[in-house]
């Protein structure tokens, strides 16, 4: 695939003060200054690893909406915001950011030193777009953004449809199948791999590395999990360094080659920047789509709505996908740091405090949506914050939406009698709200 990209905008200073390096691993984000002066009425408790909670967090959200949508989550030790209006504003509020070390040292806000045994994982996040703040974020995002704009990814619709048909061809003769493994996961993994310039047959290995790295975002992660995630990061990095070396010798028409060869006034990406960006795009480039496909198919099948009515026109297909994103979002908690001493909804926040943006809860805010807990692909008040907003709005959102529209349309056209074969179960990674398995049948 030919991807025409160019870096625009002025050259930014890449220097980072010694006291500010390395950057914080967002997988291990913690509230470093204990907060104790919280009224009891504003405290809330929900154990992220309790199956009753992560299988269905929506009753907890409903209680907070009905009482205090701004609350102090005991288990996480920081303030959280669950209403749609505040979450939308926080995503754009420049008083808050994904990084803190560009405005404070570790010593100033009491951040612990990096853990040596996760050094390989931390290296993959050091230059991650998801965690950077301007000007570093602006520089990197400008470089890769053009590959993901709507007019560019629109060209991928035929390839996505082709892959959807191929996946269904592979299991249609069976009596049942795990739709996550056989359909939801492979399609976006192959698409993003091909965009970056990696062979489609590497998709299963890329998924393995990605899934192991994502466990770092579990609540109260164990050392054993950290070691395994770090090994996955090390193996992923080693593989990419080999590919990068090959691309330096023989560039191709792909995003990886572009990142390696772009030069604006002597400003080029170094190998670690290219590696971090490629890993982020590969991991994030499929994670939300996999979860939304599984969650969305589950929502449709459980709603009792005839799927034939949901994909009859491009407009209705888009509306169906947007309702899937709203109703059962793929990401439920997004954290940011307070960059200055400030106040939010009457809550005093100190520089370095962590705040939690409850994306899944905001999407079910009854103050914003009529019948917020009802799956309604025909609603007229549709919206969602599932892809974020502001400078960290998901760069792959246009691609994810097209993948969801095309793959789900093909799925229900090919398998009109699709039904859930056994009770679905969500994975124990609360932040990333997605099904472990979705066993379905169609005969």
Structure tokens at 360: 């899944």
> In this predicted structure, what is the pLDDT of residue 220?
81
Structure tokens at 121: 């994982």
pLDDT digits (tens, 9 = 90+) for 254-306: 888 888 887 666 667 788 888 888 888 888 778 889 999 999 999 999 999 99
- Residue 278's CATH number: 1.10.630.10
What's the predicted TM-score (pTM) here?
0.88
Torsion of CA 287, 293, 294, 297, to 10 degrees: 170
Is the residue at 225 inside a domain? yes
Of the ranges 14-23, 27-36, 228-237, 314-323, which one carries the lowest mean pLDDT score? 14-23
Q: Domain range for residue 324? A: 18-441
How many folded domains does the chain comprise? 1
Q: Look at the block and give the residue holding tokens 């996999």.
A: 290
Alpha helices in 67-174 (DSSP H): 84-92, 106-109, 119-126, 136-145, 150-153, 157-171
Residue predicted with more confidence, 111 or 202: 202
- Cα–Cα separations (whole angstroms), residue 429 to 70, 93, 432: 23, 27, 6
Does residue 392 carry a pLDDT above 60? yes
* Residues 159, 406: Cα–Cα separation, whole Å: 10
Residue predicted with more confidence, 421 or 110: 421
Nearest partner of 342 among 75, 43, 27, 89, judged by Cα: 89
Is the residue at 1 inside a domain? no
Is the residue at 7 inside a domain? no
Is the residue at 432 inside a domain? yes
* Residues 289, 325: Cα–Cα separation, whole Å: 10
Is the residue at 223 inside a domain? yes
**Who's near 229: CB < 8 A, 6+ residues apart?**
27, 118, 121, 212, 213, 214, 215, 216
Q: Look at the block and give the residue holding tokens 């593989």.
A: 239
Is the residue at 426 inside a domain? yes
Is the residue at 11 inside a domain? no
What strands, in cross-sheet order, belong to the sheet with 176-178?
176-178, 439-441, 419-420
Task: Yes or no: say if 56 and 353 are a contact pair by the CB < 8 Å rule.
Answer: no
* Residues 247, 243: Cα–Cα separation, whole Å: 6
Task: Yes or no: say if 258 and 161 are a contact pair by the CB < 8 Å rule.
Answer: no
Does residue 177 carry a pLDDT above 80? yes
| pLDDT > 70 in the chain, percent | 91
Is the residue at 3 inside a domain? no
Q: Where are the beta strands (DSSP E) in 293-392?
A: 333-338, 342-344, 347-349, 354-358
């Amino acid at each position: 695939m030919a991807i025409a990209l160019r870096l625009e905008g002025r050259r930014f200073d890449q220097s980072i003060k010694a006291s500010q390096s390395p950057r914080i691993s967002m997988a291990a984000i913690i509230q470093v200054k204990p907060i104790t002066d919280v009224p009891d009425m504003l405290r809330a408790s929900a154990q992220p690893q309790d199956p009753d909670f992560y299988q269905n967090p929506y009753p907890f959200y409903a209680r907070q909406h009905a009482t205090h949508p701004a609350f102090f989550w005991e288990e996480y030790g920081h303030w959280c915001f669950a209403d749609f209006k505040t979450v939308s504003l926080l995503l754009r509020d420049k008083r808050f950011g994904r990084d803190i070390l560009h405005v404070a040292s570790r010593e100033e806000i009491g951040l612990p030193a990096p853990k040596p045994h996760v050094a390989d994982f931390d290296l993959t996040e050091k230059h991650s777009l998801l965690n950077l703040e301007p000007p570093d974020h602006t520089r990197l995002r400008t470089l890769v953004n053009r590959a993901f704009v709507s007019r560019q990814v629109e060209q991928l619709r035929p390839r996505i449809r082709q892959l959807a048909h191929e996946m269904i061809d592979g299991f249609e003769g069976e009596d049942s199948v795990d739709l996550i493994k056989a359909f939801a996961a492979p399609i976006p993994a192959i698409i993003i791999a091909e965009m970056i310039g990696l062979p489609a047959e590497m998709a299963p290995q890329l998924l393995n590395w990605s899934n192991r790295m994502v466990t770092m975002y579990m609540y109260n992660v164990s050392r054993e999990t950290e070691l395994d995630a770090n090994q996955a990061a090390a193996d992923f990095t080693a593989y990419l360094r080999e590919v990068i070396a090959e691309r330096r010798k023989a560039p191709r028409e792909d995003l990886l080659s572009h990142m390696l060869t772009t030069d604006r006034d002597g400003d080029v990406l170094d190998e670690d920047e290219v590696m971090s960006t490629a890993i982020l795009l590969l991991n994030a480039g499929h994670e939300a789509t996999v979860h939304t496909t599984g969650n969305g198919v589950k929502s449709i099948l459980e709603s009792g709505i005839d799927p034939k009515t949901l994909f009859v026109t491009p407009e209705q297909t888009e509306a169906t996908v947007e309702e899937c994103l709203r109703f059962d979002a793929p990401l439920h908690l997004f954290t940011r740091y307070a960059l200055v001493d400030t106040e939010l909804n009457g809550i005093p926040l100190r520089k370095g405090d962590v705040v939690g943006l409850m994306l899944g809860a905001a999407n079910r805010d009854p103050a914003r949506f009529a019948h917020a807990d009802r799956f309604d692909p025909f609603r007229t008040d549709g919206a969602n914050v599932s892809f974020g907003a502001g400078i960290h709005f998901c760069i792959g959102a246009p691609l994810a939406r097209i993948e969801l529209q095309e793959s789900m349309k093909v799925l229900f056209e090919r398998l009109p009698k699709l039904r859930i074969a056994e009770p679905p179960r969500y994975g124990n990674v609360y932040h990333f709200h997605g099904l472990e398995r979705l066993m379905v049948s169609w005969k």
